[in-house]
Amino acid sequence: MAKATIKTVGDVGLKLLIGLLFVCIGIEGVANGSGNDLYRAIGDDTINIILGVVLIVCGLLIIVPLFISGIKPVFTKYSMIIVSVVWVLVIIFSDFVYGFGNFSGTEIFEWLEGFIYHLLILFSILKASKGALKGVVNK
Within 10 angstroms of residue 108's Cβ, the number of other Cβ atoms is 11
Instruction: Return the higher-pLDDT residue of 72 and 136.
Output: 72
Q: Between the CA of residue 23 and those of 59, 130, 137, what are the distances in Å?
A: 5, 20, 26
Mean pLDDT within 89-114: 85
pLDDT above 80 (res 20): yes
pLDDT above 70 (res 132): no
User: What local confidence, expressed as pLDDT, does residue 110 receive?
Assistant: 87
User: What local confidence, expressed as pLDDT, does residue 22 receive?
Assistant: 93
User: What local confidence, expressed as pLDDT, does residue 134 receive?
Assistant: 67
CA dihedral 135, 81, 116, 89 (to 10 degrees): 130
Range of the domain at 110: 2-138
pLDDT above 90 (res 3): no
**Counted domains in the chain:** 1
